[in-house]
Amino acid sequence: MGNIAETETNGAFAGLRDRIARAYPELSPQLRAIAEFSIQNADTVAVETAQQLAKRIGVPPSSMVRFAQTLGYAGFNELKRDFRDNLVYRMGEIREREAISAHPASGAIAVADALMSEARRDLDRLFKELDRKQFDRAVIELVRADRIHVLAQQTSFALGCIFHATALSLGTPTNMLDEAGSFFGRQIELLGMEDAILAISFAPYQTSVVRGAKLHAARGGIVVAVTDNVLSPLAAIARVTIETPQRSPIASHPLVIGTCVLQALAIAVNETRPSESR
């Protein structure tokens, strides 16, 4: 676990990310591109100049300054300082990655070694960065729901099945929503206002999942989202969002982190339910 200074640094960066998310809907297309890049590539923002970043993103360097000022900074360097502080917080992870890269395995086992190393770092990062208050809020919303309906497609469907199977094995009634027979929209319409949708989606976000969550939320229903960052379309819809740590996509992400989060969520929901409901 990190020390107090590390926790404060990470909390300050979480506040910056929240400010970016709040500003995002009103930003111009150029500033939106900067916001998306900044959320998904925080380490790069910490070390590169405004000119280098502008070239990467495909915007004028002046847009980098405007983006910083939109968030309340005097200029880009002040914004970059907060990204740099976050990078210092994560230096332990980066040093470990460099050490492993310096002595790579060879042959077929190298693939397994690489995935296991990435998975271990994923879980370590999840332990450090999971918003525990949001996790607790998600559990409360799901426990008070009349019924939990899991909404996930493509790779995220596997994660939805993990939550569903774990919940059922523990005696928590759940239902998987799908598009079989093209009754998907009607399934959503028939949900009660006290029913909860657990929507799971990572970039690139599945249109059907976002549409279904939006439809239920618009009718006043409960939506809990598990997604990858604060700019996810699900984050703008959900009553509660559990955000998984975001980094460059590889084979083990989001499956390793998602499996841990969703199994834990299913177990926590079961343990929090009133005993007479079990």
Task: Determine the average pLDDT of the residues in 85-102.
Answer: 62
Co-location of 136 and 267 in the same domain: yes
What is d(CA 13, CA 77) in angstroms, rounded to the nearest whole number? Answer: 15
- The single-letter code of the amino acid at 222 is I
Co-location of 223 and 261 in the same domain: yes
What is d(CA 167, CA 189) in angstroms, rounded to the nearest whole number? Answer: 24
Q: Please, which residues have CB within 8 angstroms of residue 8's CB and are 6 or more apart in sequence?
A: none
Co-location of 49 and 98 in the same domain: no
Co-location of 80 and 148 in the same domain: no
Domain boundary among 76, 103, 129: 129
Tokens describing residue 271:
């343990």
In this structure, the chain runs to a length of 278
Residue 149 has φ and ψ, to the nearest 5°, of -120, 125
Co-location of 97 and 179 in the same domain: no
pLDDT, one tens digit per residue, over 144-157 is: 999 999 999 988 89
What is d(CA 84, CA 20) in angstroms, rounded to the nearest whole number? Answer: 16
Co-location of 29 and 83 in the same domain: yes
Co-location of 121 and 18 in the same domain: no
Domain of residue 159, residue span: 132-277
Co-location of 138 and 175 in the same domain: yes
Co-location of 178 and 259 in the same domain: yes
Co-location of 217 and 256 in the same domain: yes
pLDDT, one tens digit per residue, over 27-85 is: 999 999 999 999 888 888 988 899 999 999 999 999 999 999 999 999 999 998 888 88
Write the CATH number for 67.
1.10.10.10
Residue 45 Cα distances to 61, 96, 237, 251, angstroms: 13, 21, 28, 24
Co-location of 218 and 159 in the same domain: yes
Write the CATH number for 251.
3.40.50.10490
Co-location of 139 and 250 in the same domain: yes
pLDDT class for 242, splitting at 50, 70, 90? very high
**pTM of this structure:** 0.71
Total number of domains constituting the chain: 3
Q: Which is more confident, 267 or 101?
A: 267
Contact 253, 247 (CB under 8 A): yes
- pLDDT, averaged across the chain: 84
pLDDT, one tens digit per residue, over 219-241 is: 999 999 999 888 899 999 999 99
